[in-house]
Amino acid sequence: MLSLCLFLYTNLILGIVMKKIVYILSVLTIFYVVSCSSDDDSSNEGDNNSDSFDRVTLTTSWVNNLLIPATSDLKSKLETLNSSVTSFTDAPDEAKLTQVRTDLLEAYKVWQHVEMFFYGSAYSLDMNSYPADVTKITENIDSTSPIDLGRTVLNPTQGLPAIDYLVNGLESTDNDIITAYDEAKYQDYLKLLSTRMVTIPSEALSDFEAAKDTNVNSVGDAISSYFSIQVNDFVQYTEKSFREAKIATPSGTRNRDIFPTISASPSPDFVESVYSPENSKTLYLEAYDAIQDFYYGRSYANNDNTVGLQEYLQALGTTILIDGNDTSLDDYIISLFGNIDTANTNITDNFYQQTQDYNPNFDATFDAIQEFVVAVKSNAINAFNLTIDFVDSDGD
């Protein structure tokens, strides 16, 4: 576990350093172009791309068909959850506890479609930092001073994982959980978290709307363009939040000979929704659906086909060499989704139960996702003439 933590910490530091280096290099490049070619209008200012594909159709589709409807739905689901929390804390009983759990799962599912659009932001960290810090949650509940959830150190004490603990893991039986909420301190903390969560998508939407027009028209190759940032966030979300957090970390799949520098035992306590682990595959599949929506250009509201990365690759006609044959990159990626589909059939609903010991089914799922990550992170990024804006040491 220590080696895994050092591995993840190293990735984080490398990512931060790389972003700073890329930023400095970008500034130097712009300075050189302006100095030597002041009359050249072709310099990359974030709104010019190097091919004829209309990237604005992509950014517009992301915003109007995925980001805004999914985030708005999250807001609605969290308002419903907040209402059920209020009802439960006002008069705790089994039926109301069940309703809170139902509404929590619905919000959890929608979050899987939202995270990639706010990847690594304060909104994301406040909403779904897991595992929850139970020790710190207990300290907050017992505290006689106001709790400022805006402090970064409190990310694992709030959001979806914290509420999962408070309504599913606070005590060993439902009766004991219900009894605990006879005390005002538990009522107050649960309501504090649910109320805070309602504000997160509202603030995220407000901030995004303020820059919406600028963003959808910022489609250049530069790492500062909205197009580049969102594609990079999609890749990083798939790699870190989907592959690593949902599969690799809890299963310990990296503790294999193909990863000789990593020692990582199964860590079932790192399963998402660990206090309701029967929902863990459901959340994983929702995230997988969100990834496919982004690639294929499927709308969040009704699954209608719009514009996605697939159309871009098809327009470019990008091919790669597979087994000595030129193959459409889009066809190859579709086949990789098929491999993931197959691997998914061999993992069952409760990830916590399945990761108590080494489980080769998670190896197969990880490997299938990894092939997709490499295809997008390397081949597709190159086809789009973009630059990866983060660094890790996992060999992608």
Distance CA 219, CA 246 (A): 31
- The pLDDT score that the predictor gives to residue 281 is 98
38-42, 112-116, 182-186, 375-379: lowest mean pLDDT where?
A: 38-42
Q: Are 266 and 250 in contact (CB under 8 A)?
A: yes
3-state secondary structure of 322: strand
**Confidence band of 349 (pLDDT split at 50, 70, 90):** very high
Neighbours of 357 (CB within 10 A): 10
* CB contact set of 284 (below 8 Å; sequence gap of 6+): 242, 246, 247, 272, 351
> Which pLDDT does position 396 carry in this prediction?
60
pLDDT band at 255 (very low <50, low <70, confident <90, very high): confident
Task: Determine the pLDDT at residue 159.
Answer: 98
Q: Give yes or no for a contact between 228 and 23, defined as CB atoms under 8 angstroms apart.
A: no
> By C-alpha distance, which of 304, 337, 285 is closest to 69?
304
Q: Is the per-residue pLDDT at 125 higher than 90? A: yes
Q: How much of the chain, in percent, has pLDDT values that exceed 70?
A: 86
CB 363 within 8 A of CB 253: yes
Helix axes 68-90, 184-210, angle to 10 degrees: 160
Cα–Cα distance measured from residue 387 to residue 23, given in angstroms and rounded to the nearest whole number: 12
152 or 310, which is more confident: 310
For residues 309-314, average pLDDT: 98
Distance of alpha carbon 186 from alpha carbon 127, whole angstroms: 20
Mean pLDDT of the chain: 89
User: Distance between CA atoms of 390 and 367, rounded to whole angstroms?
Assistant: 21
Query: By the 8 A CB rule, do 127 and 197 touch?
Result: yes
| C-alpha span between 395 and 259 (Å, rounded) | 10
For residues 297-315, give the mean pLDDT.
96
Residues 221, 49 contacting (CB under 8 angstroms): yes
- What is the C-alpha separation between 319 and 342, in angstroms, rounded? 24
Distance CA 385, CA 377 (A): 12
Distance CA 333, CA 355 (A): 28
Dist. CA 166–CA 138, nearest whole Å = 10
Instruction: Please compute the mean of the pLDDT values over residues 341-352 and round it to a whole number.
Output: 98
Section 276-305 average pLDDT: 97
CA distance 86 to 88: 5
Beta strands in 204-323 (DSSP E): 319-322
CA atoms of 362 and 253, how far apart (whole Å): 7
Q: 306, 297 in Cβ contact below 8 A? A: yes
What pLDDT is recorded for position 260? 67
Q: What is the mean predicted confidence (pLDDT) over 185-196?
A: 98
Q: Compute the average pLDDT of residues 95-120.
A: 98
Give pTM, 2 decimals: 0.87
The span from the CA of 227 to the CA of 20, in Å, is 19
Residue carrying structure tokens 């303020």: 210
Decide if 352 contacts 280 (C-beta within 8 A). Answer: yes
341 strand-pairing partners: none
Please give the pLDDT value at position 257: 76
Residue 27 clears pLDDT 70, i.e. is over it: no
Calculate ∠ Cα 195-278-272, nearest 5°.
Answer: 55
State yes or no: pLDDT of 209 exceeds 50: yes
Which pLDDT score is estimated for 392?
73
Q: In which band, very low, low, confident or very high, does the pLDDT at 171 lie, cut at 50, 70 and 90?
A: very high
Give me the pLDDT at residue 10, please: 43
pLDDT at position 12 is 41
